[in-house]
């Protein structure tokens, strides 16, 4: 049985005197940061709160912290209705600490998500609602943070929260300006002060949507910076308010994958830290509420990973939000929740925030509201040692591999393709260009970059679709791409050319249906050094053009691959996955740290080698057990240690090599299971 002492759990030991206590902001022996978030229905009634604590005590180790919500809806409610709740929550937090957990408050919302429970929420007559570009109220549940009356509300709210004596305070993700931007008169005055212009709402709209591309870009880039600064000012105000009450109280911020905010995480973390450089916590979020979508975990992991990649290195407590809304147990299997937590740590987080408890219901007879949640807590208790092991081995070391291009100014050009299949076939995902051996480009990405940045990018490894090729060629970079577009066709298939990168699959075909919305392009070489990997063919497999996919090494020694036939999807065949792994290995000039060579549906995350030790995580997120998983790892070491989610350790010795890559064959990887590999 595990024993807890103020949130420090030592598995199978009766004492933790030799283990550092987790202070909630810095690592303690590299343990994972784990919390549970609890709604008012579970916390305000004493009997239900005690039932929850009893259950968590029974499954000791599931969480170190309990974080309490203060509101039931997504619109801000009056202070007078919050104060009685805080009085009760102050008592609840004392009860929680007495059980050995840390206790804090989650302020949700601060300025509001959307209109909900309006009769009991702040009223539009008293506060400035966010306005759209046409001057209409966006929602009666969202308020402008520049309104002095709203700022006074925030001062009273966070003062009261701090006075309730929490161990920490979280600011939830209603604090954003992305698709909920505000164009009220006060916000436009702020923008004019920042830019030295004199826009009206009408002239600002014209500047954003009319005029030349360059003029629109300049205005929208300035507005994006305005959004970053708006959030910074709001977080700085909250920091000042809270630290007037408790000077060293840790503050946490939850964001979402919102490009409209400019993803100014470093700026915002600095604002929350304040003059005293208090610790800052982070909770990256994105929706994945049920287990109905099999790709939900990997998609969210990639979204979270790129958020974390923008965080300063000093932010150590990064809890991935695992939200089971609407909190109905059969909506998410316990194994799915466990897989989520492990996958999100693999992609960059250092812990998890479980938002799993239900809206409380009236007990009936001998049936208690939380009985149905015991199987989930039992699974998470078994998972906890693995999360701690992952946090210990991975820490915040950066991921390395293949980056799907992302930039803090992506709001200006549209979000790049992320839901491609290249990360599902065993190629390593990373999220920061500085740590990538290859960058994936899709349509409009290049418009976020300067010409100098584009030239630098094309001097490395790049995989792109035809739309990107056309844009680069139109901008004068054709001498670095090696190809141009001849025409596009609806009725074509792809046939692999006789080329070493195609290996045994030369002559094989890939047939995708254009009914699903992708076109086939015929390409031609603009440089004789360009090489054809596949060509277009008709449905009888007869050649109809010179090229539909090719590679090129340019004068800057950059390696380019242009894909003109379904570049993002329908890659789940042995021939195509094998070809793509050869291509990305070539693009990286054999600098990829690792890849899964066998034909399996796998997600792979590799951390930068520190002192010669490479640590990676792979997830079999399919429904089938994978047999003989072949990991190609760039290492000189003859063996690896593989840990499953039960922390069972297996040593695997290399069975061969290919250049600098050693081959390790893992006999079996369970379905819906994540593995940690230490070299």
Residue 653: give its domain's CATH number: 2.60.40.1180
User: Which residue has 């919500």 as its token pair?
Assistant: 69
**Which tokens go with 219?**
């205005």
Same structural domain, 475 and 534: yes
pLDDT, position 29: 56
Bond prior to 464 in cis (omega within 30° of 0): no
Domain-terminating residue out of 363, 395, 427? 395
In a domain, 594, yes or no: no
Phi-psi region of 460 (alpha: psi -120 to 50; beta: other; left: phi over 0): beta
In order, the DSSP letters of 39-53 are -HHHHSSHHHHHHHH
- Closest C-alpha among 103, 113, 36, 34 to residue 71: 113
CB-based burial label for 483 (10 Å; 0-12, 13-18, 19+): buried
Q: Is 19 inside any structural domain?
A: no
Q: How many CA atoms lie within 13 A of 203 on its CB side?
A: 9
**In this structure, is the dihedral angle defined by the CA atoms of residues 112, 117, 118 and 121, taken in order, positive or negative?**
negative
Cβ-based neighbours of 294, under 8 Å, separated by 6 or more: 621, 622, 623
Around 357, how many Cα atoms within 13 Å sit in the side-chain half-sphere? 28
- Structural tokens at position 637: 């070491």
Query: Residue 610: what pLDDT?
Result: 65
Q: Is the CB of residue 168 less than 8 Å from the CB of residue 152?
A: no
Provide the domain limits for residue 404. 399-588
H or E segment and range at residue 525: strand 520-525
Pairing assessment for the beta strands 531-537 and 520-525 based on DSSP bridges: unpaired
Question: Strands 639-643, 649-653: parallel, antiparallel or unpaired by DSSP?
Answer: antiparallel
The beta-strand segments (E) located in 257-315 are: 280-285
The Cα–Cα gap between 453 and 455 comes to 5
> What is the reported pTM?
0.93
Among left, alpha and beta (phi > 0; psi -120 to 50; other), residue 378 is alpha
Same domain, 258 and 403: no
Asked if 112 and 144 sit in the same domain, the reply is: yes
In a domain, 14, yes or no: no
Within 10 A of 163 (CB to CB), how many other CB atoms are there? 13
Look up the CATH number of the domain holding residue 461: 3.40.50.880
* Tokens encoding 317: 């407590």
Query: Do 260 and 383 belong together in one domain?
Result: no
Q: Please, are residues 566 and 509 in contact by the beta-carbon 8 Å criterion? A: no
Cβ(581)–Cβ(598) below 8 Å? no
Domain contains 12: no
Here the tokens at position 597 are: 């060579």
Domain boundary among the residues 559, 588, 617 is at 588
- Using the 3D structure, point to which of 369, 395, 421 is the last residue of a domain: 395
Contact criterion met (CB below 8 Å) for 464 and 442: yes
In a domain, 298, yes or no: yes
In-domain check, residue 6: no
What pLDDT is recorded for position 10? 27
Q: Is residue 8 part of a domain?
A: no
Q: Is the distance from CB of 502 to CB of 458 less than 8 angstroms?
A: no
Please provide residue 211's backbone torsions phi and psi, each rounded to the nearest 5 degrees: 80, -175
Task: Verify that 56 and 74 share a domain, yes or no.
Answer: no
- Round to whole Å and give the CA distance between 327 and 341: 17
Instruction: Say how far apart CA 654 and CA 670 lie, in whole Å.
Output: 21
Q: Which two tokens stand for residue 410?
A: 């992506």
Q: How far apart are CA 74 and CA 136, in angstroms?
A: 20
274 lies in the same domain as 294: no
- DSSP assigned state of 547: B
Q: What is the pLDDT of residue 15?
A: 28
Beta partners for residue 640, in sequence order: 652
Walking along the chain (679 residues) 10 residues at a time, the average pLDDT comes out as 28 29 54 96 93 96 98 92 97 98 97 87 91 92 95 98 98 83 94 96 94 89 94 97 96 87 92 94 92 90 94 96 90 96 97 90 74 95 98 95 91 78 97 95 91 97 97 98 90 94 96 71 96 94 94 98 95 97 98 98 90 89 95 95 97 97 98 96
Q: How far apart are the first and last CA of the chain?
A: 31
* Residues sharing a CB contact under 8 Å with residue 242, sequence separation 6 or more, in sequence order: 158, 161, 162, 169, 249, 251
Is residue 41 within 8 Å of 359, Cβ to Cβ?
yes
Residue 95: helix, strand or coil by DSSP?
helix
Residue 563: how many other CB atoms lie within 10 Å: 23
Domain count, the chain: 4
Q: What was the pLDDT predicted at 515?
A: 59
Hey, what are 379's tokens? 């699974």
**What tokens does 400 get?**
């390395």
Of residues 108, 26, 29, 94, the one with CA closest to residue 66: 94
Kindly state whether residues 311 and 406 are assigned to the same domain: no
Shared-domain flag, residues 273 and 337: no
CA gap 294, 300 in Å, rounded: 11
For residues 451 and 574, membership in a common domain is answered with yes
pLDDT value, residue 119? 87
pLDDT recorded at residue 514: 65
Domain identity same for 496 and 448: yes
Q: What is the pLDDT of residue 2?
A: 31
Residue 584 sits in the same domain as residue 610: no
Residue 137, phi then psi, degrees to nearest 5: -65, 125
Strands 483-489 and 102-107: unpaired
Do both 336 and 224 map to the same domain?
A: no
Q: Which residues pair with 461 in a beta bridge?
A: 438, 559
Across 108-181, the runs of DSSP E, i.e. the strands, are 169-171
Q: Is residue 336 part of a domain?
A: yes
Q: List the CATH number of the domain containing 187.
A: 3.20.20.80
Chain centroid to Cα 187, Å, comes to: 29
Quick one: which of 412, 407, 475 has its CA closest to 221?
412
39 in Cβ contact with 48 (< 8 Å)? no
What does DSSP assign to residue 357?
Answer: P
Could you give the 3-state DSSP secondary structure of residue 528?
coil
| Contacts of residue 14, Cβ cutoff 8 Å, sequence gap at least 6 | 3
- Tokens representing residue 52 in the block: 């929850």
Least Cα distance to 305 among 445, 442, 432, 410 occurs for 432
């Amino acid at each position: 049985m595990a024993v807890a002492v103020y949130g420090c759990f030592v598995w199978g030991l009766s004492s933790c005197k030799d283990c550092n206590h987790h202070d909630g902001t810095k690592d303690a022996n590299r343990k994972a940061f784990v919390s549970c978030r609890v709604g008012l229905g579970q916390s305000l009634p004493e009997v239900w709160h005690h039932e929850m604590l009893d259950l968590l005590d029974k499954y000791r180790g599931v969480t170190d912290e309990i974080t309490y919500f203060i509101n039931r809806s997504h619109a801000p409610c009056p202070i007078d209705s919050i104060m009685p709740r805080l009085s009760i929550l102050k008592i609840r937090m004392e009860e929680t600490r007495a059980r050995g957990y840390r206790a804090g408050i989650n302020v949700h919302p601060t300025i509001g998500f959307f209109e909900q429970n309006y009769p009991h929420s702040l009223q539009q007559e008293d506060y400035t609602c966010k306005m759209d570009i046409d001057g209409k109220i966006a929602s009666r549940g969202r308020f402008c943070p520049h309104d002095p009356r709203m700022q006074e509300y925030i001062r009273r709210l966070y003062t009261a929260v701090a006075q309730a004596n929490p161990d920490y305070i979280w600011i939830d993700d209603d604090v954003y300006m992305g698709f909920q931007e505000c164009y009220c008169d006060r916000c436009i005055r702020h923008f004019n002060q920042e830019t030295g212009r004199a826009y009206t709402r009408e002239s600002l709209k014209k500047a954003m949507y009319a005029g030349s591309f360059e003029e629109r870009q300049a205005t929208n880039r300035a507005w994006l910076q305005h959004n970053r600064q708006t959030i910074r000012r709001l977080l700085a105000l909250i920091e000042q308010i809270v630290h007037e009450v408790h000077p060293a109280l840790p503050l946490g911020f939850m964001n979402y994958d919102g490009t409209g905010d400019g993803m100014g995480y470093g700026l915002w973390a600095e604002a929350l830290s304040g003059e005293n450089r208090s610790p800052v916590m982070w909770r990256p979020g994105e929706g994945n509420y049920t287990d109905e979508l099999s790709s939900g975990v990997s998609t969210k992991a990639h979204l979270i990973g790129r958020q974390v990649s923008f965080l300063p290195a000093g932010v150590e407590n990064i809890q991935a939000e695992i939200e089971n809304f609407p909190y109905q147990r059969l909506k998410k299997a316990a194994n799915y929740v466990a897989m989520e937590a492990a996958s999100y740590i693999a992609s960059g987080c250092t812990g998890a925030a479980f938002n799993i408890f239900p809206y409380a219901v009236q007990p009936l007879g001998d049936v208690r509201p939380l009985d149905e949640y015991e199987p989930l807590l039992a699974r998470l208790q078994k998972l906890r040692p693995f999360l701690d092991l992952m946090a210990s081995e991975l820490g915040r070391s950066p991921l390395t591999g293949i980056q799907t291009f992302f930039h803090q100014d992506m709001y200006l050009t549209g979000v790049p393709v992320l839901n491609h299949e290249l990360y599902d076939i065993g190629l390593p995902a990373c999220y920061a260009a500085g740590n990538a051996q290859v960058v994936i480009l899709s349509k409009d990405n290049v418009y976020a970059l300067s010409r100098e940045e584009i030239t630098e990018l094309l001097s490395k490894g790049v995989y792109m679709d035809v739309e990107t090729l056309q844009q680069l060629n139109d901008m004068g970079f054709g001498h670095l791409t090696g190809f141009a577009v001849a025409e596009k066709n609806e009725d074509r298939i792809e046939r692999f050319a006789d080329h070493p990168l195609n290996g045994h699959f030369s002559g094989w075909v890939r047939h995708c249906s254009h009914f699903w919305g992708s076109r086939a392009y015929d390409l031609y070489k603009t440089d004789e050094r360009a090489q054809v990997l596949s060509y277009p063919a008709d449905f009888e497999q007869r050649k109809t053009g010179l090229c539909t996919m090719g590679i090129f090494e340019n004068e800057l020694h950059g390696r380019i691959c242009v894909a003109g036939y379904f570049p993002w999807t329908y890659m789940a065949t042995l021939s195509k996955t094998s070809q793509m792994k050869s291509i990305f290995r070539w693009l990286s000039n054999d600098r990829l740290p690792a890849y899964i060579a066998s034909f399996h549906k796998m997600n792979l995350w590799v951390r930068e080698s520190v002192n010669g030790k490479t640590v990676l995580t792979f997830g079999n997120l399919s429904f089938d057990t994978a047999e003989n998983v072949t990991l190609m790892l760039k290492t000189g070491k003859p063996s690896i240690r593989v840990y499953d989610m039960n922390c069972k350790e297996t040593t695997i010795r290399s069975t061969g090599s290919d250049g600098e890559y050693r081959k390790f064959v893992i006999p079996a990887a369970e379905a819906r299971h994540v593995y940690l590999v230490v070299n």
